[in-house]
Structure 1
Amino acid sequence: MRIQVLGSMRAWKDGAELELGPPARRAVLGLLVLAEGETVPSGSLVDALWGERPPRSAVNVLQTHVKHLRRLLEPGRSSRSSSEVLPYVNGGYAVNQAAVTVDLTAFRLLVAEANEAYRNDEWDRAAAGLGEALALWHGRPVADIPLLATHPKVVSLIAKHREVVARHGDAMIAIGAAAEVLPEMAEAAAEQPLDESAQARLIRAYHAAGHRAKAFQTYHEVRDRLVEELGIDPGPELRAAHATLLHDDGSTSTAQPRAVPAVPRQLPAQPSGFTGRTAQLSTLDELAAERPGGAMTIAAISGTAGVGKTALAVHWGHSVSDRFPDGQLYANLRGHTSAGAAAPIEVLAGFLSALDVPAERVPVDVETASAMFRTLTTDRKMLVLLDNAAGPDQVRPLLPAGRGCLVVVTGRDRMTGLVAMHGARQITLDVLSPDDALELLRCVLGPRRVRAEPAAAAEFAKLCAYLPLALRIAAANLSDRPGHGIEDYVAELREGNVLTALEVPGDEQAAVRAAFDLSYAALPHEARRLFRLLSLIPGLDASTEAIAALTGTDPERSLDRLAGAHLVELQTPGRYSFHDLLRRYAAEQAEPDREAALHRLYDWYLNAVDGAARLLYPHMLRLPVPDLDARTPSGVTGPAEAASWLDTERGNLVAAVRSGPRPAAWLIADALRGYFWMSTRRVEWQATAEAGLAAAEEAGEPRARATARLSLADLYFRQSRYREAVRHYTHAHLLARQAGWVEAQAAVLGNLGRDHALRALAIHRETGHRTAEALTLAVLERAGR
């Protein structure tokens, strides 16, 4: 028995095609086949056939259709025996996939095998497998049944077909066979005239097939279409295809590699000296083993601060990374940091970007972004590590949808909401066992030193409450003092911890403070000062150059000392971060240079952003920046380096606008407007513009308020939300008039339409602003077409 749904609804038995009967009967069979072996309740079949107002006889009619289909598909079956092909299961019907051959099932299997080859860069095998899958496609699913044209299963399959066509095109381009798929690529692009990925793929196919002129023509046509219909410029994928055309003079091979699907590898570095946690690692392994057969799995790791939740999650994530071929996503949710918990939309923006969603396509509202994230992860096998969560409400929008996905959440909260609502497995992390604590000491101090003083080492671990963070910091402090024995350090710990430890035995936070106190006191003066000042960093990490601006000195030696004492962590070469408990402890220490250091840091950020703006968008109207005695980032000598620096520092700059001193906050926000216009990172853009506006309104600064409104207006314009854009443009124009800022008035008018642009042109000519005059003339030319 063979059934086809990819095209017209057809069936064959013993090589002879069957007459399936009237449209409604064909629709019943089509719905059951599209369910791919799952039971379809009778009520769902009735709803699909008759909608909201079925006749009273609907169930009887449905049963009649099923009876006729069974007779047709199983002509020799006794009326008293159960059906092998269309069994009745739990109030509904299903297709027994073991009894029939279905083209949709074969299509799914071929695509899955080809996608595995695609992920492993086996282009020949991927191209062959996807081509074989597409050969099964004879048109729109159940094309001869209009009743099912908009059914979700049909719509989903059409989207899947487009995805397979795209991947097949990529693979064929990669193996140098682009000419063979040009008709399919052209058809796909014609069906999706505003889909940048489809258009970019067609451009690459034309280029790879040697049709360079046609590729250029296609680029210019789609660019004009995007501008005219959506009011946006080409995104990164189209620009990349165009850049490849520009840099290929035709003397080299035109075959282009396919667009590799994003496989993010975001896990932090493997923690050194990880010990113990055997039971918890075993539980995580069990969850990973159970994952393929069921729904998306969640592990919720909870425990006190400093107990090693992140270390456990990251260590385990690295050990099983091969089980998640589609990548690993990581986010620090900042659940207990002074900077405040991360907004889910910010995390989603980062995840979607890592999954190759162009910045301008990332939604700015949580619900839409979350839905897009779930869609993109439906067929993926991914590990998602959500670290330092504030609670379940922060986590829920960040959950993927794929059955092959596993989510690990860490936090001080027990996450009972995730357990109750999402079936999360709860893993409670306590302090280390005495034996594991000693093993950690051996890793830091060396086995010989611990073996020489076993009783003192055991007391050392006990005074640190067996807490990993306290143990690491205290042991690192002792390792810097080779002349001291463990017993000597135990005496110091006892002295610093005696009051709190005796009052509250095993008080982990008292142990942490005692370890902090001793390690901090052992630092040289400059290192202690640096440690205190690092608490002023607005984001999660900082570059060496930003830290130099903060301190006003060369911090390299002190940073090395702090890293050696486990008081800061080297994230990547030249970038440092530290634990939120350490940040809080550093902020509590008295620092007379605090305000001056804060202004030095923000002056440096402002100077650096201003320098990048001059390189990237020199003609864009901006607030004047005062002359600052601050260094610019090394190596930022041209537009490419400026853009790279802004990409790297984006998180810190957004945090600086939100929390920095005035007027640096709104000046940085204004200087970033051009960067956001170019990169179209809408989530960060909105957060920055709104924070800049709030700062300016609090200070009552009309020019700053005008540029903040202009930034929001530009953002809404790029989103095609013209009503909101006009409202902010109008507000910005009013504020610019109140401030007597003629250039800003002209800039706003130029964005409000043809009549306003004519007024802007007159102002530009009157003030002699030639570049702005040329830009406004371009606007008028476009409006006149």
Structure 2
Amino acid sequence: MLIRLAGLVSIEDAGEGNGEAARYLSSAQAQVAFARLAMERAGGTSRDQLADTVWPDGLPDTWASALRSVVSRVRSFVAGTEDAVVSRGGRYLLRLPAGAVIDLERAEAEVVDAVAAHAAREFDDALRLAESAVACLRRPLLPNHDGEWVGEVRARLAETLVTGLETASLAASALGDGPGALRFADEAVRRAPLRESTHRARMTAHVAAGNRAEAMRCYHELRATLADELGIDPSPESQAAYVELLGAPAEQVPQPQEASRSGPRAPAPFVGRRGERGALAQAWSRAERGTSHMVLVTGEPGVGKTRLVTEAAHQISLAGGVVAHARCDLAPAAPFQPVVEAVGALLAAGLDERLARRATALRDTLGTDQPDHTRAVEQAADLFARISREHPLLLILDDLDQAADDTLAVLRQVFRRRADSALLVVATAGLPARREERLTTLVQQLDQDGWLYRLTLPGLSEQDVRELADEVVPEPFLDEVPAPRRLVADTGGNVYLLLEMLQWPCERGSVGSRAELSPAIHEYATVQLTSLDAVPRRLLRGAVVAGRIFELDLVAEAAGLDLDRAMDALDLLLAAGIVSEAGRGRYRFTHDVLRRATYTQLSAARRRGLHARYAEVVERRRAGDLGRYTRALAHHRTAGATEGGDQHAVRWVWRAAAQAGGDGALEEAVRLHREALRHVPGEDDGLRAEAVTNLGLAQLAAGHRECGQTLLDGALHAMHSERLPVAARAALGLADAVGSRPELRAEAAALIELLVAEDSARWGQRGGNDRIDGVTLGRMLARQVRLGSPLGAGPVTDTALAELTRELGLLEGPGMVARRHTLAGELLTVATAVDDADGRIVAAHHQAMAAELRGDLAGRQAALTTLAAAAHANPLGDALLLEHAVAEAVTRGRFTDAAVVARLAGNVTGSGPGWAAVSPPPGTLAQRQLLVAGLLRTGLWPEPGAAPRTGPEAAERSLRELAGGVRGRPHLTVRAFATGAEPLPSGDEWAHLMGVLALGAVELGDPTTAEALRARLAPYGGLVCGVGYRTFAGQVSFHLGQLAVVTGDWDEAESQLTDAVAWLTVRGARPWVALAKQSLARALAGRARAGDRGSARTLLTEANTALVEAGLAHRVCAVVA
């Protein structure tokens, strides 16, 4: 059922095979009653409201019965049943059949949908819906009836009709139907002459029809109408539309040939450029005062030159200035084309009759096929001079670097006649590197005469980009837009490129594209590339492969250019703004999107060849520093990989994956190993086995559940390709993976047993690449035990124990703690399984050392417990435990106990593989620990021996000399180590010696020596200074804090010493805590901030008390220095 309320009130029912039959309601009273009941059917209409609607001029005496009669007519009209209109609670409710449609409601909904479709750039749907709604809404509503309700509905429908007309016009404009758009817009203006949006629609329609001057005339009519009728200026939206007209057509930036969007975008907001706008405002102010001159706005294509000058033109126009805008085309359709455009704009703006006649005459002269050049130049210059003498005139010449000689001739003549005029010429042009000589000559002439002011336009800042993104990107797409910092790096702040980057994510779905960059950006890149000569273009293509930042010598050789030609080409690229200097002999692309666009435009074969050539150049030219290029080489080798597999690519990706794993980027390592697997040559089974194994190990490290299956496959591939070492690595990983995949436990155990047996069978073939090394063999044996398989003594286990012990001896010091801890645990497992006492002691020793270096007290204690259990009646274990007891006694301030135990440790001796596996030799560190303790308590000095001149013991004995008041030789020793003149020992002794040196430097009190040691200790803030658990010489934070006191860095001293007090307190190191508090008190007193003195006194009191209790009264400090 279709109910028509507009025009003749009727109901159209679907007939039985006869189309639609219409019924009409003839009574005017029944029509208005039916209309209101229909439009208010959801909530009903009260009897009084309905009566007032039917009789708006006053109710008749018998209105109640008369209303019942009207309602009866309505009921009969609708359905002829009693249920069509019901009375309930003093209200009438109209009941319509399901599916009934009221024409006015449908028209209003269509307008809403049309507006939404237009906003979504679905212009065909928008036009169809708007036309349908307009056709309905044009029909009159109840023409034979008036009244308050009818008037309100008519007013609402009139507004809706105008909205429909505007939407239809805008949609037609977007679809290129200028005449149709103008028809709708003209009607909208007639119906709502003071509604600015109708005028804007008409301006848009004129532009779509190619009549920009008419569009400008429409704006001036709107401005005059609003001023006459309301005394106001046009709204900002209308002013913005006029600004767009002033700047149209836009800068010559290539537009995409394919449909990258479903219609024209809305004008982008103008952001930033405060300084440049101020400069143009000052230039106009000078022109108004009679100083005619020219401003040349330069910048790269798309940076926003035209938009800037049109914004300035808009402000000048609002202030009463006369504005003429013209654009110079590279190949103008007719002579003097920009002059013709400027004259047309002046006529549209409204000149007085006398000037208008001159302008019209000039336009007619220029409109001939072959105008007299001299006469035309004279007339044009004379017209602009006359206008600028009577009114301040702004003449905008867009893209002046494309101007023909006739336009430049007019410009010269204009400035020769500038006397007594108020003229500002604002011209835009590209960068000087791309400027033709004739324009350069003109610019130099104007500059020499003092008429020219240059304004170079940079890209937008991050803040401007953030503001622009907030304005143009719909909220649902904000997450797809890169951060402002990335956008600036990608575009150099170029407005055109920014808008493409901001709006393309919102549009690519509608055109079914997944491309990262819009077609417009690709065409912009093409224009930039084709504007270059052959050599710069060749260099640029090599550079786009290298990456956003590149090194000239590498790119030049990859591009096949000698360095001189490459440098000449680079100068041109720098001048064109395509690249810029990045420091240290490197260069970067100003707009990375152009690099990426240019890269994708290269053929696949050329890209592959350039990548491969670039990788070869890097490997040859940077052979001594390839670690810095690992990831880059992995990228270039894979991108330049030969089809069918490429070993170079595989191995460089492995290196990059190892680097990523070392940096903690475990998922990236997995991704890289997958990439490496793709490039394994199909016939190289051994390399494939290794690639699968590496992937499985990376998955294991990253916690991927599928790692077990990958490692099993890698092991099987390796065994069948005779790569036992690779299979062994896979087996180790698989054994570790069964913790999360217990279903593969049996396979892991069987694989290890099989590999051990196979390796044993090749015992006589030791050497070569097909044998498993002893360390890996030992690690497999440890896994075998952990998986529940028995392990017996024999040549295999002897070899494994010896190799694990030897490897652990190479892992001393703070740099290899994790691997040391792991291998020590595996050595302990194997040694325990075959009941090797020395092996257990050595393993527990290394576990304790690793735990101490990590600061893991619980781990250290567990290892020492294991060591004590293994040391039963074994002098090797006894010596190590006695050394630890001395270190603990010195740590806790039990100095007498330390001296007694040190004598016992000196009496323990032994020999054998176990003794040789521990360094320094067991039992030798106790006396050296007393050298450290003696600095605190002088009575603990060990018996003096021959004083060494160099080495760690020389540093330790310098402490004794310092305590005795000798400074000369100790200072030489400490400073030699601090400055690197004397090399520091490697391995476990390094941390002990650094603690000794720090103690000596504090005693010396020399700031330069202290600063040198601070620099060496700074990277190791949480490290314990000692030979692991065997000695104690403080902790790095403690030493850094004390050294900072010596150098006067009070804040750093406070920070480090506060950490040290907390750490030493946990360790129960009471005398060291007291020394730390004493130094902290000095630091606070030296800083002398509010409250520092009081805190320093409190700390010093606590420190002195603890020192006296520890028997170190000679270290008490009565006054804070």
Same fold (TM over 0.5): no
Relative CO higher for 1 or 2, CA cutoff 8 Å, sep ≥ 6? Answer: 1
Which of the two has greater helix per residue?
2
Provide TM-score, normalisation by structure 1.
0.31
